[in-house]
Chain A
Amino acid sequence: MGIALLAAGCAARPVERVVGTPAGALVARETIDQDTTPKAELRMVPPEVYMRTYLQLFGGLLPDAAQQKARGAEGNNLFDTWDDYVSSLGFPDYRLDIPRQTQTNALMVAAFERLGIALCDRAAERDLAMLGKAGGPKATALPVQERVIFAFDPAPGAMDEAQFATRFDVLHRTFLGYPAALAPKERAPRYLALYRDIAATHAKTLPKSKLTPDQAAWAAVCYGLVRHPEFHLY
């Protein structure tokens, strides 16, 4: 009986037909100009350049020393080893005939992410030691001219837009190579909003972090720039 029902069901199914729409029946809804501008792949900063820049931002260290410093002593896994990142960053491997990568992929972006966070956190600890936790290494704060990334003094008290802008300009020049004043107008306010948001959240939730709210906020601004497309493209 089951077989009979199944057969009846199949037989009852109508023949499926796909009916096309005649071309002449399509109605134009909008007319736009053909885009004839030249199209080219975005140009990634070569991995050699990225790595040298990274090492320079770490204070001009050799890869081993930068790795040691990025890993730190507390073992919070900010950084693995260069060996783990080198193929993700797009370096070619001539021995295996693997060409250099000219476009990003998920692993590459993840590697940039991780390297950027390690760089910014370590720089915040080092350059902004005066903002560190009570009992921390405040005495070791470096003179401004010796700070590679956060080469400015913290604002006295709550930071206003003008005070943020001068400090943001230092970071903007460091990572993107031009004054923040030439960037889109909304960029500085957005980063200030980020700064304030992170500082407030960090102060409220007291996360288990080595960084104080101010340090964490500056580190977040740094994350934004070190991951900015303009940093990775040229």
Chain B
Amino acid sequence: MRWPLLFCSLVLAAGVAFTRGASSAPPATAPRTLDDYRHFRIASIDLLGRMPTRGEVATFERADFDFDRWIEGHLQGPAYVERLTRIYMDLLRLEPNLNFSPAPAQLFRHEVLQDDGKSVYVYYRQNQRRAEPSIDGEFCFAPDETGVVIRPNAPSVGATPKALPKKLLEARTVLVHPWWLYRDYRSPHPLQRFGESWKDPDPQYRPVETLLNEADGKPTIAVHVCREEAQTQDLGHVHTSGRLKNAPADEKLPGGRSKPPPIDKPFALQHKGEPISCDTRSALENSIDCGCGVGLERCIPNDGNGATNAFYFPNKMPLGPGQPLDLVKQRAERWYPYWWSREAVHFLDDLFEKDRDFRQILVGRQSFVNGPLAQFYKTMQRTSCCGPETAFGMNEELAPLFEPQNVPIDLMPHDVETWRMVPDRGPRAAGILTTPMFLQKYATARARGAVLYNAFLCKSFAAENAQLTPSTEPNLMKRPGCQTCHATLEPLAAYFARIEPSSTVFLPATNFPAVSAACRKDKSGKLNGNCNALYDVAFADDKGATLRSAYGSIAHADAAATGAGQDITKMPEFAECAVQRVASSFLGRPTNADDAPLLTALDKEFVASGFRMKTLVRGIIRSSEYRKANNMTSAPAADAGAK
């Protein structure tokens, strides 16, 4: 049961209880001390998520009130789940202040003039390869045809737009019923349009009005899409244009374009004509027959020519998405990060609601997806890859952290309120550590290692009081002044060496050995080819190089995030830290030496129970320390200023 529903039912229950109390003979009451009332109040705050109502206080006063039973009942409730999730969200802060905008996934649009004098929006991708040199890598109409030079993320240049002949518009564009507009966009003849025949979209699915209407304000029935972007096949082919060098600076550019058409990249020359997955970054850069898929489902729309709006969703929802405080037009590049955060919350909620082994937080392979996340994991996440990785034979993600085939197939991109558990994301999944939210929030291997150390082992890095002297030692585990922290941090960071920074792209050992003989220092001391992007020149010689962030521990780099989860959860400090975090939160103060007997007892019970949080919380709430943790003393203090 989610919060709003529960909230209403609790209020209703409170009202009923009060009504009963008011209309019938008062039930037998038990004498309660002020401490009893305060214990009940703090337990209500922790397990109900709010202060007790009068009706609940009256129930508590009854002689037959069973506090243990009351605690058990509320350990099953959503308020308990939210309380525990809050502890770890406060620690990890898994909400995005970031964008996700890989070029192959972003559909922009430009308004063009038709020869009947009306304007129409045409959707396109930046850098889309096309056969015609005048429009290759650009909008699908050349400046000579539209009268303006279209610039990404900037106003177009040119005062007098030209009208496009109808035939040219029809030749270069295709009318598509896109996913954001049609519930049944996969049907050959979609009919269920948002706001019309599609009657019951999820209330939280709200495209911005500008995606629903044409420039003249009339409802959009279908969208014009550049022909290349409208293609639907999964596989394309590597295309070469025959251009190997940039045109001379004084040469007139075709179609009035402002920059020369792209030249063939080494990858294209090497793989000419070979099949290529359309879900990849290299497909956008190297093929002309890869588009956005059926109903444009591999792309997300922008309502303009740059980072513009796509959907409404809240910025502020302190009590959860069911009780938002606002609803704001948001940029397309924020759509998936918003859902990544919700995925993390669902993951944690499930852990506490089902009372799973708490070690799952770092080793669990399960997760939760809704429609947008299903779309993301099936296609969008793959568009982050691959650039320099292609030089190592990885043209598309070979070993994703979330295997696309494990995504539920029946979730539509609009199913924002339907959450499904995915029992197994794949062999590289490691609890919260391999979720996009964690990996983007903690963008570098060191940041990931540090948060692991702090949040799950309750340890922090404190620099020694040493003077830092100039040093050329690249190994921070040895460099004076740095080694105190980095001797611990670098091996932790190494667990994340195979997950690229600010990304979820996994570098498998088959193509990216932790120490690669294929990457070597040349005579000038630089790494050859594309090695510099992925291997560390500071840990290279003429025989090989070490994968970035792996030098702290090659074994950890090969164990990857799953190894981190397993190693950390085996440490006794993991359970001790969980006990300390939760106890401190429920006691409302940092734990101290006087709490050692309590913490030891709780830790023993927690581990014996198989790392079950309910056992831990039950133990805390029934403890005398919790009862005494109340701010108020047992004797009522005189009110301030009393005479």
> In the assembled complex, which residues on chain B have CB atoms less than 8 Å from the CB atom of A48?
49, 82, 86, 318-319
Picked from A40, A49, A94, the residue with its CB within 8 Å of the CB of B93 is A94
A83 touches B50 (CB 8 A): no
Q: How far is the CA of A234 from the CA of B46 in the complex (A)?
A: 10
A144 touches B325 (CB 8 A): no
Chain B window 39-59, contacts with chain A (Cβ cutoff 8 Å), 1 for yes, 0 for no = 011101100011111100100
A138-184 with Cβ < 8 A to chain B: 144-146, 151, 170, 173-174, 177-179, 182-184
Chain B interface size range: 35 or more
Q: How far is the CA of A33 from the CA of B540 in the complex (A)?
A: 66
A56 CB to nearest B CB, Å: 6
A86 touches B631 (CB 8 A): no
Q: How far is the CA of A100 from the CA of B86 in the complex (A)?
A: 11
Picked from A42, A56, A91, A186, the residue with its CB within 8 Å of the CB of B11 is A56
B37 touches A177 (CB 8 A): yes
A52 within 8 A of B: yes
A41 touches B15 (CB 8 A): no
Picked from A41, A83, A186, the residue with its CB within 8 Å of the CB of B325 is A83
B323 touches A62 (CB 8 A): yes
A40 touches B95 (CB 8 A): no
Question: Which residue of chain B lies nearest to A54 when distances are taken between CB atoms in the complex?
Answer: B50
B50 touches A184 (CB 8 A): no
A184 touches B319 (CB 8 A): no
Size of chain A's interface in residues, with CB distance under 8 A?
Answer: 52
A145 touches B639 (CB 8 A): no
Q: Which of B17-25, B64-72, B370-378, B528-536 contacts A (4 or more CB under 8 A)?
A: B17-25
- The verdict on A186 contacting B642 (CB below 8 Å), with A42-B631, A92-B90, A178-B38 known, is yes
Question: Which residue of chain A lies nearest to B34 when distances are taken between CB atoms in the complex?
Answer: A182
A29 within 8 A of B: no
A177 touches B630 (CB 8 A): no
A178 touches B54 (CB 8 A): no
Picked from B4, B90, B630, the residue with its CB within 8 Å of the CB of A100 is B90
- The verdict on A233 contacting B631 (CB below 8 Å), with A53-B50, A184-B638, A186-B642 known, is yes
A187 within 8 A of B: yes
B57 touches A177 (CB 8 A): yes
- The verdict on A51 contacting B11 (CB below 8 Å), with A151-B18, A183-B636 known, is no
Q: How far is the CA of A59 from the CA of B594 in the complex (A)?
A: 43
B632 touches A233 (CB 8 A): yes
B608 within 8 A of A: no
Chain B window 441-461, contacts with chain A (Cβ cutoff 8 Å), 1 for yes, 0 for no = 000000000000000000000
A177 touches B326 (CB 8 A): no
B57 touches A178 (CB 8 A): yes
Question: Which residue of chain A lies nearest to B97 when distances are taken between CB atoms in the complex?
Answer: A95
Picked from B19, B95, B589, B629, the residue with its CB within 8 Å of the CB of A145 is B19
> In the assembled complex, which residues on chain B have CB atoms less than 8 Å from the CB atom of A41?
589
Chain B window 10-37, contacts with chain A (Cβ cutoff 8 Å), 1 for yes, 0 for no = 1110110011001100000000011001
B89 within 8 A of A: yes
Question: Which residue of chain A lies nearest to B594 when distances are taken between CB atoms in the complex?
Answer: A38
A100 CB to nearest B CB, Å: 6
B319 touches A86 (CB 8 A): no
- The verdict on A45 contacting B642 (CB below 8 Å), with A94-B94, A145-B22, A177-B37 known, is no
B95 touches A190 (CB 8 A): no
B172 within 8 A of A: no
> In the assembled complex, which residues on chain B have CB atoms less than 8 Å from the CB atom of A72?
none
- The verdict on A51 contacting B319 (CB below 8 Å), with A83-B325, A86-B325, A97-B93 known, is yes
A230 within 8 A of B: yes
Picked from A81, A91, A144, A184, the residue with its CB within 8 Å of the CB of B318 is A91
B636 touches A49 (CB 8 A): no
Picked from B89, B318, B638, the residue with its CB within 8 Å of the CB of A51 is B318
> In the assembled complex, which residues on chain A have CB atoms less than 8 Å from the CB atom of B637?
184
Question: Which residue of chain A lies nearest to B61 when distances are taken between CB atoms in the complex?
Answer: A179
- The verdict on A145 contacting B318 (CB below 8 Å), with A43-B588, A186-B643 known, is no
B318 touches A86 (CB 8 A): yes
A60 within 8 A of B: yes
A18 within 8 A of B: no
- The verdict on A94 contacting B89 (CB below 8 Å), with A43-B588, A51-B319, A56-B7 known, is yes
Picked from A45, A63, A92, A174, the residue with its CB within 8 Å of the CB of B45 is A45
> In the assembled complex, which residues on chain B have CB atoms less than 8 Å from the CB atom of A42?
631
B259 within 8 A of A: no
Q: How far is the CA of A173 from the CA of B51 in the complex (A)?
A: 11
Chain B window 549-585, contacts with chain A (Cβ cutoff 8 Å), 1 for yes, 0 for no = 0000000000000000000000000000000000000
A174 touches B54 (CB 8 A): yes
B638 touches A186 (CB 8 A): yes
B154 within 8 A of A: no
- The verdict on A230 contacting B632 (CB below 8 Å), with A45-B51, A48-B318, A52-B50 known, is yes
A206 within 8 A of B: no
B96 within 8 A of A: yes
B8 within 8 A of A: yes
B316 within 8 A of A: yes
Question: Which residue of chain B lies nearest to A100 when distances are taken between CB atoms in the complex?
Answer: B90
- The verdict on A178 contacting B86 (CB below 8 Å), with A82-B325, A145-B23, A151-B54 known, is no
A173 touches B50 (CB 8 A): no
- The verdict on A234 contacting B41 (CB below 8 Å), with A63-B323, A146-B15, A178-B34 known, is yes
Q: How far is the CA of A91 from the CA of B42 in the complex (A)?
A: 19
Q: How far is the CA of A99 from the CA of B93 in the complex (A)?
A: 9
A40 touches B323 (CB 8 A): no
> In the assembled complex, which residues on chain A have CB atoms less than 8 Å from the CB atom of B594?
38
A132 within 8 A of B: no
> In the assembled complex, which residues on chain A have CB atoms less than 8 Å from the CB atom of B588?
40, 43, 234
A213 within 8 A of B: no
Q: How far is the CA of A83 from the CA of B326 in the complex (A)?
A: 8
B7 touches A52 (CB 8 A): yes
A35-69 with Cβ < 8 A to chain B: 38, 40-43, 45-49, 51-53, 55-56, 59-60, 62-64
> In the assembled complex, which residues on chain B have CB atoms less than 8 Å from the CB atom of A5?
none
Q: How far is the CA of A194 from the CA of B97 in the complex (A)?
A: 49
A26 within 8 A of B: no
A234 touches B639 (CB 8 A): no
Q: How far is the CA of A218 from the CA of B50 in the complex (A)?
A: 24
Picked from B51, B93, B96, B629, the residue with its CB within 8 Å of the CB of A53 is B51
> In the assembled complex, which residues on chain B have CB atoms less than 8 Å from the CB atom of A60?
7-8, 11-12
Q: How far is the CA of A47 from the CA of B18 in the complex (A)?
A: 26
A96 within 8 A of B: yes
Given contacts A46-B45, A146-B15, 5 further A-B contacts (CB under 8 A): A48-B319, A62-B323, A83-B325, A94-B94, A174-B54
The 6 closest A-B pairs by CB, nearest first: A60-B11, A43-B588, A94-B95, A178-B37, A94-B93, A52-B50
Q: What are 10 contact pairs spanning A and B, CB under 8 A?
A: A56-B7, A60-B8, A63-B324, A64-B325, A83-B326, A92-B90, A100-B90, A178-B38, A178-B41, A230-B632
